[in-house]
Amino acid sequence: MKILIQFVLSILIINTSVSYAQDVQFSQFYNAPLYLNPAFAGTSHSSRAILNYRNQWPTAGKPFITYAASFDHFFSKYSSGVGLMVMQNKEGTSKLKSTEISGFYSYHIGLNENWTFIPGLQATYVQQSIDYSKVIFPDQYDDNGFIGGTSEPLNLSKRNYFDFSSGGLLYSEVFWFGFSYHHINRPRQSFLDDNTRLPAEMNFHAGARIPIAGSPRGRSTRIEYKEKAFMPSILYKTQGKFDQLDLGINVLLEPVQFGVWYRGLPVKRYESGLTNAEAVIGLIGVVINGFSFCYSYDYVVSRLNKRTGGAHEISLIYIFGEGDQKGKKKTKYKRLPCPSFYKL
């Protein structure tokens, strides 16, 4: 059974990463803000460092593992945010490895006393490689079992390319609405000798931060200040012929935060008898003195639920004080209310 699963995963990897690769999925997408939307650069209104780790399908042979490290800073003098992110993704048995280095820029525009709009840009350099000796192709099997060899055109094992993305973010003290458009240039990233290009990905995200009665929201940074809030939010993304919906709620009882999420789009069927229901996600975290930790687990509800082991995800975030946000300038930029751990 394990060999069969590895065989199926190898085919999935070849069909997706060699020809139509899909992007990495973070369950804690608001704790990977630069990856979600380049407009999030500088939204801490200080300096922010973030580490993300995801281990997907750990019991199905070789897992899909993603590491990401990012840093962003806000320059109040120029109303601008800048950021840098390095991410590496290792995909299963094929040893497909992707390393990305991204730069970000955003500009913060105060529309009025209540609303702020942020457009953002992202430029990425990508290096990909694959080890074909670890991949099993369908034509390597016949009625007698494994026969070796393949007719697949395996001429290219490395590919480098540039990728560009953009996004926008509109928010008030309570609500936020965002969108991003990734792979604007649709880079040619296939390992096969063809002109297959990476499909563009669009996502839309929104939500609210609703204070719990008896716990008025404040701007104090003292650790003894306790905030309580409900934070419902939603993320819809589409890439190629695939789309996905994340829907859930986080509850903040500072310094603890926990949440429950659902990923899937059950009203849409890609094939007869195959529903688009992927996972139920639980998360918990804590924040102390500007440092935060969050852990989440994906419980798979699709047909793969008994063999994949779900997914484990960890995020670490640190905010470096108040940066250059001093005195009267502090009131110029409102805190973004989305369910991340930072607070100003």
Give the tens place of pLDDT for each residue, 126-151.
998 877 666 666 655 666 666 565 65
Confirm whether pTM is higher than 0.85.
Answer: no
User: In the structure encoding, which two tokens stand for residue 222, read together?
Assistant: 């003292």
pLDDT of residue 214: 60
pLDDT of residue 183: 95
Give the tens place of pLDDT for each residue, 281-334.
999 999 887 888 999 999 988 766 667 788 999 999 998 874 344 443 444 666
CA dist 148 → 89, 130, 141, 152, 237 (Å)? 28, 18, 7, 12, 39
Residue ranges per structural domain of the chain: 2-331
- Mean pLDDT (10-residue bins), the chain, 344 residues: 45 42 82 95 93 87 87 95 96 79 96 94 92 63 62 67 96 94 90 78 94 60 62 92 90 89 79 71 88 93 74 93 46 66 44
In 3D space, the residue among 332, 336, 337 whose CA is nearest the CA of residue 110 turns out to be: 332
270 vs 51: CA distance, rounded Å: 34
- What's the burial of 134, exposed, middle or buried (CB within 10 Å: 0-12/13-18/19+)? middle
99 vs 91: CA distance, rounded Å: 12
Residues near 38 by beta carbon (within 8 Å), at least 6 away in sequence: 83, 104, 105, 106, 120, 121, 122, 165, 166, 167, 180
What CATH class does 2-331 carry?
Answer: mainly beta
pLDDT of residue 61: 66
Number of residues that make up the chain: 344
Residues near 328 by beta carbon (within 8 Å), at least 6 away in sequence: none
User: In the structure encoding, which two tokens stand for residue 78, read together?
Assistant: 């120029």
CB 50, CB 92: distance < 8 Å: no
pLDDT of residue 58: 79
DSSP string, 64-87: EEEEEEEEEEEEGGGTEEEEEEEE
